[in-house]
Structures are given as C-alpha cells and as structure tokens.
Amino acid sequence: MSTTDTTEQGPQATWERYLEEGRFMLQRARGSGEHLFWPRVSTPSGETDLEWVEASGKGTVYAITVNRGREGSTNVALIDLAEGVRMMSTLPEVETAPIGAAVTARIERLEAGPRVVFDVIAGESA
Amino acid sequence: MTHDLRGRAAIVGMATAGVGAAPGFSAMELLGQASVAAVADAGLKMGDIDAVFCATSSHAFPTMSVVEYLGLDARWFGGTNVGGSSFEMHLIQAALALDAGLCDAALICYGSNQRTAGGRLVSMSEPQWHETPYNPRHPITAYGLAASRHMHQYGTTRDHLADVALAARGWANLNPDAFARGPLTRDEILSARTISDPLTKADCCLVTDGAAACVMTRADRARDLSSSPVYVLGGGSAVTHRSIVAMPDLTVTGAAKSGPIALEMAGVARKDLDLVMLYDAFTINTILFLEDLGFCKKGEGGPFVEDGRIAPGGELAVNTNGGGLSCVHPGMYGLFLIAEAVAQIRGQAGERQIADCNLAMCHGNGGTLSSQCTAILGSEASL
C-alpha cells in the first residue's frame, strides 16, 4: 500500500504554495498541539496528524550575524517564533538587532520569489 | 569495567602529504602519496590492505575511487560522511571491523587540493531549501550565529576568541609543517576584517591543501609491525542536526554526548589526558568543545582560554600542531587531529613534543556543529 496521497502535495510544496498566496503557515500536530518548522512529514516526537495553521508572526531574535562583503552587508538571524519553533530569516530594515529583540513577520516579494522576513518591534524585547 | 573494544586495534602507520600548498597535484594524488607513505610506515605492502575508510569533499564514491587508484583488493569499506569528523568515526568503524575479523589491515585516508585548485573551501554540501532565501554563507554564517549566542548568553568576548587564535599560532610556530607561522598579535586579530559578525578572518581556519592516511590492524599484530602502536581506546558520536536552524541549543554541541561515551569506553578520566585535539574550524569551536567535553563549566570556555592556558607552556595541551587555524585545514580536517595525536604519542613531535604523552583525545566536528565524534588514543603504557 502506498502511503503517498497523490491528491496532495508534500509539506515543502504546500508551504511554498501558501507563501505564494501571501500566507505564512506552520504545521501543527492536532493531538499534541506541537508546532513544526521547517515543514516535514512528521514532528521530532513522531506525530503525523499534521494540519496547517496561520503563524502568529510574533517572535524574538535568538541569534544573529551580519554577512559582510564587497556588495554590502546582510544579516542572517535565527528567530524563535511564539509557537515554539525556530526559523532562519533576516531583518531587512536594519543592519543588525540585539538578541532577544521582539520581531514581527511579513512576507517580502523578491524577484527570486516570496520569503518571510522580520521587523523589529520598537521598544520591545523579550 | 571497560568496553570490549578498548585497545583491540591500533594505528601502526601514519603519514601526511602536501600539507599547506601542493601546486600541481590533484586531491587523489595527494591522498595516494599519504596512503603509500602510511602503508610503508606500517611496514606493510599495499596488497596487504583489505579495508578502506574514506570521505572527501570531491568524490561522490571515495572508497571506490581509492580502491581503483591504489589498486587495492579490499573486502570491507566505510564511506560514512559526516563532514570533518568522519575520520574519528572511521577510526571506531575500522576497530570494529578488525575486531570482528571482517578485515585485517584497514586504510583510513583523505586528500584535498582545495587551496591550489580554487583557493576556497570545497564542499559538496547541498543548500537547505528553508535557508536558501536568506543567503547564508555556510559554514561561517552558522558559526557566527553560534558565537553571537554564546557571547549573549555567557559574556564571551572577541578577546576570548583571540586567545584561541593566539594559542594556535603559538603552537604552529613550533611546528615546521604548519602553514601559518610567524608573529601574530592580539591587535592584528582584533582588527582583522569581519566576515560574519562576530567572526573575522582571524577566527577562521586556513584554506590549505593536504592529505593524511593511517593504517590500522588488530592489537596482537600491531606489536609486530610497529615499535610504538597507537591504540584506539574508545569513541563516541552524536549528530544533532543538519541545518543550524535545527540545532537545539546553539551553545551546546553534540560533544556533550560523544565525549562522555568515548571516555567511559576508554576507561579514562579527563584529568589523565595528556593531549586534547579539538576541531577548530573557527575560534568559537575550541571554546564550545572545552566546555562540552567537560574541561570547564558551560559558559566558562572564554575565561578558560585566557592567559595562555591552552598555548605552549599552558596548563592544558590543546591542538599542538597549530590546529585548523594555523597548521592545516584542507576542507575536512579530522584525520589531521589523529596524525598529531599519533606524532605526540610516538614522541615524534619535535620542538612541540609534550612530555610523556600517553593519552590523547581527538574531537572531530562536521557540518555546522552538526556531527561530533570523540576518539581516545593511547600508547602501550595506557593499556
């Protein structure tokens, strides 16, 4: 018996389709409530009853670096989302930000495609 | 009671080739030179080798390539590739295969010409799709992120990172084979060009050519082949993630798991180690591994490396060849940790020789702090 439902796409393609539609979605296990990022077919604890839910977009900076080069500098940050999962992203409006800074997500549309980025919420830190 | 595998197999031949810059040689040619020299060092013929363990950054099927290039007739193969720590893993796998009678003489080998071929780190590592939109420049972006977190959480400073680089250069200056030798000051390190905050060029390992190889046999045969066999006493491994975003805690590596497993298997106490070889792809690695392997408490790795504690003449002999930072780093450095431990245990380390070196820890790191493998090596006296 095949375990692939051919009427659906895999988690990566599904996530990318949502992003294309302007939606930042996360997987969540129905029973345990555990969120998952990046999208996969099961959670680290083995749950497979996954559904897609809208991300709150709230998070804090867990770690941050600035890649410096001749063509300019861009930061790469690891963001801890309010849902308890971590994602790599960037804070395009600032050179860098303190670890612990509160941030909020938005979808940025680049030539290469849409991506989730974050902005620092002024005056807030975790 | 110690583990059954303790001391059952030993390194009887060891060699390096093309350390630094080796213009005009391919990666396989350098690997071949090191292998030929290691087999000769063991007093064996190439036809005696019946097992190959190998990983490189330029061969999809390295064990096949090595068998063909060296004309081997092998019956056991280990191509585990977990990045730079692969060779510490190969050491344990070879010991297991030898002990099980699956082979009688194992060759572990590596070769790279990345410096003269392109001058950049050669990697077959594929991008992770969920990271790609943010253009991380791995590996340094990942190590910059880890360093940022360690600084935030524990107050580690760039001065601490500089202490690691200074110690490595101090050792390299005692090693005629080291690629980066000569004076290096704290000011030069601190004013070096920043690449991925907080890491500067001075925090990064070298980009060199280089090959290494070792030959292992069971212990009973090792005593006939070598005047000073180097025994494999224990080993432990851990893989915590593939992408840096999936590393559970950026300040705690899998070394916290692999280290205790290796020490217990070897029946060795940390304080009895004469030499500690840590995979220093970046300065932050040395600090993380000193903590995770239990040489100091978590968060105290920065203060631990102050005042030349790991430099020549310091309390703890760490990376006595000069490390990946100042000796050699041809992409995957793990086998060079073993080469230095063998040189020290055999008493062949020249000006940098430490007194009575009987027990060494080799700690390999691979990917972006992803795979950690610790091996304990010892002299005849350590058995």
Do A62 and A46 lie in one domain? The reply is no
In degrees and rounded to multiples of 5, residue B23 shows phi and psi of -60, 140
B373 neighbors B258 (Cβ within 8 angstroms) = yes
DSSP secondary structure code for residue B126 in this structure: P
Q: Which residues of A touch B369 (CB under 8 A)?
A: none
Q: Which residues of A touch B131 (CB under 8 A)?
A: 88
In angstroms, what separates the C-alpha of A22 from chain B's closest C-alpha?
Answer: 16
Where does the pLDDT of residue B149 fall: very low under 50, low under 70, confident under 90, or very high at 90 and above?
very high
Do B171 and B312 lie in one domain? The reply is yes
| Cα–Cα distance measured from residue A67 to residue A65, given in angstroms and rounded to the nearest whole number | 6
- List the CATH number of the domain containing B285: 3.40.47.10
- How far, in Å, are A102, B3, B74, B227, B249 from residue B275 at the CA level? 44, 22, 33, 21, 28
| Cα–Cα distance measured from residue B152 to residue B164, given in angstroms and rounded to the nearest whole number | 19
**Mean of all residue pLDDT scores within chain B:** 96
Does residue B111 sit in helix, strand or coil? strand
Looking at the structure of chain B, the number of domains it has is: 2
A23-32 burial: b if 16+ Cβ within 10 Å, else e: ebbbbbbeee
- What pLDDT, on a 0 to 100 scale, did the predictor assign at position B342? 98
Is B252 inside any structural domain? yes
pLDDT digits (tens, 9 = 90+) for B190-243: 999 999 999 999 999 999 999 999 999 999 999 999 889 999 999 999 999 999
Picking from B201, B245, B282, B288 by the largest number of A CB atoms within 10 A of its own CB, the best residue to mutate is B245
Do B168 and B269 lie in one domain? The reply is yes
Contacts of B130 (CB under 8 A, 6+ apart): A37, A38, A39, A87, A88, B243, B245
Is B2 inside any structural domain? no
Do B216 and B197 lie in one domain? The reply is no
- What pLDDT, on a 0 to 100 scale, did the predictor assign at position A6? 61
From B129, B152, B244, residue closest to A12, measured CB to CB: B129
Q: Which residues of B touch A111 (CB under 8 A)?
A: none
Residue B35's nearest CA partner among B114, B112, B107 is B107
Do B91 and B29 lie in one domain? The reply is yes
Do A120 and A68 lie in one domain? The reply is yes
Q: Which residues of A touch B152 (CB under 8 A)?
A: 63, 99-100
User: Residues B348-373: what's their mean pLDDT?
Assistant: 98
B62 neighbors B311 (Cβ within 8 angstroms) = no
Q: Which residues of A touch B193 (CB under 8 A)?
A: 68
Domain boundaries, position B372: 138-203+234-382
pLDDT digits (tens, 9 = 90+) for B71-123: 999 999 999 999 999 999 999 999 999 999 999 999 999 999 999 988 777 77
DSSP secondary structure code for residue B59 in this structure: -
Do B65 and B187 lie in one domain? The reply is no
From A74, A78, A96, residue closest to B145, measured CB to CB: A78
pLDDT digits (tens, 9 = 90+) for B1-44: 578 999 999 999 999 999 999 999 999 999 999 999 999 999 99
Do B192 and B337 lie in one domain? The reply is yes
Is B1 inside any structural domain? no
In angstroms, what separates the C-alpha of A70 from chain B's closest C-alpha?
Answer: 11
From A87, A99, A110, residue closest to B245, measured CB to CB: A87
- What pLDDT, on a 0 to 100 scale, did the predictor assign at position A71? 86
Does residue B302 sit in helix, strand or coil? helix
Instruction: Give the residue from chain A lying closest to B142, CA to CA.
Output: A65
What sign does the CA torsion over B283, B18, B113, B344 have? negative
Do A42 and A75 lie in one domain? The reply is no
So what's the ipTM on this one? 0.94
Strand partners, B91: none
Do A86 and A115 lie in one domain? The reply is yes
- What pLDDT, on a 0 to 100 scale, did the predictor assign at position A2? 64
Domain boundaries, position A24: 11-54
In degrees and rounded to multiples of 5, residue B173 shows phi and psi of -70, -10
Counting one residue from chain A and one from chain B, the pairs whose CB atoms sit within 8 A come to 77
pLDDT of A4 over the 90 cut: no
Verify whether the Cβ–Cβ distance B149 to A63 is below 8 Å.
Answer: yes
Do B79 and B197 lie in one domain? The reply is no
Residue B239 at interface with chain A, using a CB cutoff of 8 Å = no
In angstroms, what separates the C-alpha of A18 from chain B's closest C-alpha?
Answer: 14
Contacts of B339 (CB under 8 A, 6+ apart): B14, B15, B16, B212, B214, B321
Residue with tokens 């704290």: B186
Looking at the structure of chain A, the number of domains it has is: 2
Is A97 inside any structural domain? yes
Give A93: exposed, middle or buried? Use CB within 10 Å, 0-12, 13-18, 19+.
Answer: exposed
- What pLDDT, on a 0 to 100 scale, did the predictor assign at position B118? 81
Instruction: Give the residue from chain B lying closest to A90, CA to CA.
Output: B134
Do A75 and A107 lie in one domain? The reply is yes
Residue B120 at interface with chain A, using a CB cutoff of 8 Å = no
DSSP secondary structure code for residue B231 in this structure: E
Do A32 and A87 lie in one domain? The reply is no
A49 neighbors A43 (Cβ within 8 angstroms) = no
Do B223 and B273 lie in one domain? The reply is no
- What pLDDT, on a 0 to 100 scale, did the predictor assign at position A3? 64
Do B304 and B212 lie in one domain? The reply is no
In angstroms, what separates the C-alpha of B168 from chain A's closest C-alpha?
Answer: 24
Residue B131 at interface with chain A, using a CB cutoff of 8 Å = yes
Q: How many CB atoms lie within 10 A of CB B350?
A: 11
| Cα–Cα distance measured from residue B189 to residue A69, given in angstroms and rounded to the nearest whole number | 19
Is B132 inside any structural domain? no
Does residue B103 sit in helix, strand or coil? coil
- Across chain B, where does the E strand assignment appear? 9-20, 51-54, 76-78, 106-112, 194-196, 199-200, 209-218, 230-239, 275-278, 359-366, 371-378
Verify whether the Cβ–Cβ distance B135 to A76 is below 8 Å.
Answer: yes
- How is chain A classified by DSSP, letter by letter? -----TTS--HHHHHHHHHHTT--EEEEETTT--EESS--SS-TT----EEEEE---EEEEEEEEEEEETTEEEEEEEEEETTS-EEEE--TTSS---TTEEEEEEEEEETTEEEEEEEEEEEEE-
